[in-house]
Structure 1
Amino acid sequence: MRLAAFRRRDDPDGARRVGLVVGDDSSDGLGRWIHPFPDDTDLVELLAADPAEREALADLAAQGDGLRLAAVILLPPVYPVAMRDFLTFEAHVDGMERGHGNPGPPAEWYDAPVFLFMAPHAVTGPYDDIAMPPDTERFDFELEIAAIVCRDVCDATPEQALAAIGGYCVMNDWSARDVQSKEMTLKLGPSKGKDFATTIGPWVVTPDELDDCRDEDGFLDLKMTVKVNDEPVGADRSAHMGWSFEQLVSHASRASWVKAGEVLASGTCSGGSLAEAWGRNGSLTPPPLQVGDVVEMTIERLGTIRNRIVETGDVVAPVAPARRRTAVGGRLGASA
């Protein structure tokens, strides 16, 4: 089942509806329809519903009039209560580390799946324009798979964690690499290098739709591709993750809560970012993203997201440097 959040083009800003996506996989999406659920339907609660109940509700929606994709604006499938982004593709870690002059993944990477917390209020819709962030000359994309959690879990086993995953979607973790690099020299972040936009969508695909897409170890095995201005620039398969999604949710829940409505992402696949290519090539090849570029990401069975980079109309305040202090008598004191 594919479930989308949307508003009609004549709806006021802020309107949000949930619909059942039906139709073929034509690249232009013209073969697809969205059949609305009742107005008070919550997408996360629908993912958490008993499968038989969800199927019955979907059958009712399918009997009603459908809307062409051109008649709606697709919204982020969820506005997450929290977001965690993991680092699960070994080959991507290898390329990034080599770009920093290191021989490959550090030994610690293999010990446990690490993640960073993201800005949940920065999510954007699957076809929204993305404003060029300030202070960057190395704007980049990151191709990832995201899982939407539909039940609260704490100290969950992988089996329990699997039951808490309501579905999957495509994710682009946009990144200002030069800002990110400067932040991380202080062993913190990234923060302003990533908090301006994260694209998720185009809809959520429930796990039962992907039962035939698992490898012998139970990992999802889906082709992942990214294009810039219609030119292929990277591809991988999700089966190359070092940990499965149920292992990621289980790990995140150790001595902690993972809540319904959270988004947990795989991290960037190999070939899924420009920075990895820069690390392997030793140069900014391919070049950083510019205003006017269109980034398109497709994950087999999950769909396609497509975003154009535009000029920002915002005026941002200058960054205030720290008030410096000088050494007095061998210790720091207030400057004169």
Structure 2
Amino acid sequence: MKIARIEVDGARRVGVVDGDRVQPLAAHVTVEEVLAATPAERTALVDRAADGAPRPLSDMRLLAPVAPPTLRDHITFEEHLEGSLKLLGRTAPPPEWYEQPVFYFSNTNAVIGPDEPVAVPPGCERLDFELELAAVIGRPGRDLTPEQAGDHIAGYTLFNDWSARDLMAPVIPVGLGPVKGKDFANTLGPWIVTADELAPFRRDDRLALEMHAEVNGVPLPGGGDTSASMAWSFEEIVAYASRGAELRTGDVLASGTCGTGCLLEYWAQAGDAAPPPLRPGDVVTLVVEGIGSVSNRVVAGAEPVPVPKARVGHARRPRPWTST
């Protein structure tokens, strides 16, 4: 089943996509209700709540398929990490990376859907995209094992982790993450494909979906990647994220960028900015096998609001360890 959020006659609804048609559901049905249901319950709910006849998908405005309470972005593709670190003068990932599927929290207020514009963030000259796959939580859970975690994943969607590379670089040494470099846009879409529908794409213990990105309709060279390259499965990253923390319905856990899934990797390998950074007018399209594609156009953004540098040299209170 493909679960979408749609705009119908000016109202937001949940819809179920089937080919080029979409079945709107009754206004009282929430996407969280559909996600939390078992496959059998979900089918019964859709049959019971269908509102009118299916409509052409082309007549609908697709919204982000979920408004996630939390959005965790992991980094599970070794090839992407190697390319990113090369720009920092490192030749290999740190040994700590191999120990656990680390993540950072991203801005849920910046979630957007298919075809929504992405404004260049203030002061950015090196705008980039990131091609990722993301799991969406159905049943809440805490302290899950990887074996249990699969029953808590409702489905999967595409995730574009837009990145202002030049805004990230000066703050990364502080150690608190990318800060304003990833604070402005997070695309989810076009819909959520339920886990049972993607079962034919499983190889051993993980999904194996072909992934590639296009800029202005042209695929990036290199052939993209496959989600089978993830160093941890989605079940494993869900289990890790649930350690001592409750995962709730609608939470999104992203894979991190796949190999050749962003411009940064090309810049690292070629030693220059080719392909060039994104500019207003560019259209970025992410394509993932078994799910579909999602596109956004880059538009001009605002100028940065000036903020002063830190105040230093002011008097400090005496401390017990301060010598007199």
CA, structure 1 residues 206+320, in 2 after alignment: closer, same or farther (shift >3 Å)?
A: same
Deviates more, 1:293-302 or 1:44-53: 44-53
Superposed CA offset, 1:93-119 (max 9, x none): 111111211112121111110000001
Aligned residues: 315
Q: Match of 1:29?
A: none
Deviates more, 1:244-253 or 1:53-62: 53-62
Q: What secondary structure is seen at the aligned counterpart in 1 of 2:197?
A: helix
Structure 2 Cα separation of the partners of residues 307 and 221 of structure 1: 25
Q: Match of 2:69?
A: 81
Asked whether the equivalents of residues 100 and 279 of structure 1 are also in contact (C-alpha less than 8 Å), the reply is no
TM-score norm. by structure 2 comes to 0.93
Q: Match of 1:27?
A: none
Aligned residue runs from structure 1 range 297-312, under 5 A: 297-312=286-301
Structure 2 Cα separation of the partners of residues 187 and 62 of structure 1: 49
Superposed CA offset, 1:146-189 (max 9, x none): 11112221111112211111110011000001111111121112
Amino acid at match of 1:214: R
Asked whether the equivalents of residues 150 and 260 of structure 1 are also in contact (C-alpha less than 8 Å), the reply is yes
Shift of 1:80: 0.7
Asked whether the equivalents of residues 152 and 260 of structure 1 are also in contact (C-alpha less than 8 Å), the reply is yes
Match of residue 19, structure 1, among 15, 19, 22: 15
Structure 2 Cα separation of the partners of residues 104 and 280 of structure 1: 14
> Is 2:147 the partner of 1:163?
no
Amino acid at match of 1:97: L
Match of residue 33, structure 2, among 45, 63, 72: 45
Q: What secondary structure is seen at the aligned counterpart in 1 of 2:290?
A: coil
Q: Match of 1:285?
A: 274
> Is 2:64 the partner of 1:103?
no
Amino acid at match of 2:274: T
Shift of 1:63: 8.5
Q: What secondary structure is seen at the aligned counterpart in 1 of 2:208?
A: coil
Q: Match of 2:44?
A: 56
Superposed CA offset, 1:37-84 (max 9, x none): 111111122121132221123345669412222222111111110100
| Cα-Cα RMSD | 1.8
Asked whether the equivalents of residues 95 and 104 of structure 1 are also in contact (C-alpha less than 8 Å), the reply is no
Q: Match of 1:66?
A: 54
Match of residue 255, structure 1, among 244, 258, 263: 244
> Is 2:313 the partner of 1:325?
yes
Q: Match of 2:322?
A: none
Match of residue 212, structure 2, among 222, 225, 236: 225
Shift of 1:293: 0.3
Amino acid at match of 1:167: G
> Is 2:77 the partner of 1:94?
no
> Is 2:257 the partner of 1:268?
yes
Structure 2 gaps of 5+ residues are 320-324
Q: Quick one: percent identity of the two aligned structures?
A: 48
Q: Match of 2:193?
A: 205
Structure 1 gaps of 5+ residues are 24-31, 332-336
Asked whether the equivalents of residues 83 and 262 of structure 1 are also in contact (C-alpha less than 8 Å), the reply is yes
Structure 2 Cα separation of the partners of residues 257 and 54 of structure 1: 23
